[in-house]
Amino acid sequence: MTSHPAKVLHIYANSTDQWHGRPLYSAIIQQCLQLGIAGATAFRSFEGYGMHHQLHTARLLSLSEDLPVRIEVVDSPEAIDRLLAALGEILRPTLVTVSDTQVMTLNPAPGT
């Protein structure tokens, strides 16, 4: 098994947030793809709230379309820095966290 240092970027938004007519999470993931980022995934949550303390929940039909979304991106520290610079204005309405992590690669079994 081998490992190397990496960064994990978490971007917190709402499923109804838009960027130039498309879902914000989709625009972010498309930018990741264009920059050749190692991996990015958007997760839709069941319940949560942000800095305005407004609850977003799947339990209430009237609010079930406005749910929290977390976009998780993993790559080298340099690639995450490039991504953050490229996203610029798109991240203005969001909460962003960056953490150190280790990416581990399992060695293939003999004969494969």
Question: pTM (2 decimals)?
Answer: 0.84
Q: Is residue 112 part of a domain?
A: no
* Separation of alpha carbons 57 and 38, rounded Å: 31
Residue 10 CB contacts under 8 Å (≥ 6 apart), including other chains: 70, 71, 72, 73, 96, 97, 98, 99
* Separation of alpha carbons 84 and 28, rounded Å: 10
CATH number (domain holding residue 30): 3.30.70.120
Structural tokens at position 78: 């340099």
Residue 53 confidence (pLDDT): 79
For the segment 2-61, what is each residue's pLDDT rounded down to a tens digit?
A: 999 999 999 999 888 999 999 999 999 999 999 999 999 999 888 887 777 777 777 655
For the segment 84-95, what is each residue's pLDDT rounded down to a tens digit?
A: 999 999 998 899
Per the structure, the complete domain to which residue 83 belongs is given by 2-104
Q: Is residue 109 part of a domain?
A: no
Q: Is residue 45 part of a domain?
A: yes
* Separation of alpha carbons 40 and 71, rounded Å: 7
